[in-house]
Amino acid sequence: MLTPTPLMDLVTGFWSFKTFAAAVELDLFSRLAGGRTLTVADAKAELGLPERPADLLFTACAALGLLERAGDGYRNTALAEEFLVRGRPYYFGGQVAYCDQRTYLPWHRVGEALRTDRPLTWDPATQESMFTTADPQLLATFWEAMYSTSSFTAQALGEAVDLSSYRRLLDVGGGSGAYPISLCGRFDQLAATVLDLAHVCEIADGKIAAAGLSDRITTVAGDFLADPALPGGHDVVLFSMILHDWDAVRNQELLAKAYAALPPGGLVIISELLLNAERTGPAPAALMGMNMLVETTGGRNYSDAEYSSWLAAAGFTGIRTVRFDAPGANGVVLGTKN
């Protein structure tokens, strides 16, 4: 029997996110680190929450798989303990905070973005792009948000694509360096360069040093859009969750730059949430495309067929798609320079 239950699930989806975001804002999961248990009665002293709100929050977090009952109280689930305790290597709270602080309210005006084709989180009339901001806290939150997502996506890429015959990788717009850190950790012969804006390279340098990989991963300050060429000396060029930020013309220009920068036999990797050829899904890729409407001037998510055609036009051969399941991408499109 057909019912409107799936529609109700769509209508109430924001309830889950805002409950999750409120718990992260309270740093609830960090307070429960190491198996600590907290009762509703103790929430007043610990969190400043009266009994009824505490009961409702704890119940909802348990229903969402973030807390579990332990006697009279609640404790972190394994998921929360691994990713939602501040200071853990793959802390995911930055992603939650960024979406809550940066994109949630602008999304309320998504109808405006649909009508005007203009981003809602920044003003193109006064700012060059969403990645240039005078707010250092917002910048730090953004890259912290990306690090956990990118780290696990890079792990999936490393399991799906054998890079053991390559020597040096260029991560274009590499942000905080999550991909090179993960891939160099997996492939001992691999070294890498992160190419990004100067203030982003400073963040990457810190992450790289913390991972003990400063001898194998370097950063180069530059603007991959404006610079006429990409740095040479690499046999792999990686675009990780980058090309969805730009329109088709800009992406074709970037792939042509990658072709020019690579030696014969060099590999280009496009890591993205890929749409299917029919443009009917999957939902994460389609909804990321909607987020590009909110956050960029020309970005959208593309299918692997579109990326493949652009790679072929740039001169790449041996073009193929490799699928995997990860938080930031569902696969990669690969091409080789003859």
Q: Which residues are catalytic?
A: 244
Question: What would the DSSP string read from start to end of 211-258?
Answer: TT-TTTEEEEE--TTTSSS--SS-SEEEEES-GGGS-HHHHHHHHHHH
Owner of token pair 């248990």: 37
Owner of token pair 């029919």: 278
Rounding to the nearest 10 degrees, give the CA dihedral for residues 238, 242, 248, 250.
-80
For 20, the enclosing helix (H) or strand (E) is: helix 13-25
Task: Report whether the peptide linkage leading into residue 282 is cis, meaning its omega lies within 30 degrees of zero.
Answer: yes
Sign of the four-CA dihedral 16, 21, 26, 29: positive
Sheet holding 317-323: strands in order across? 217-221, 191-196, 168-172, 236-240, 267-272, 331-336, 317-323
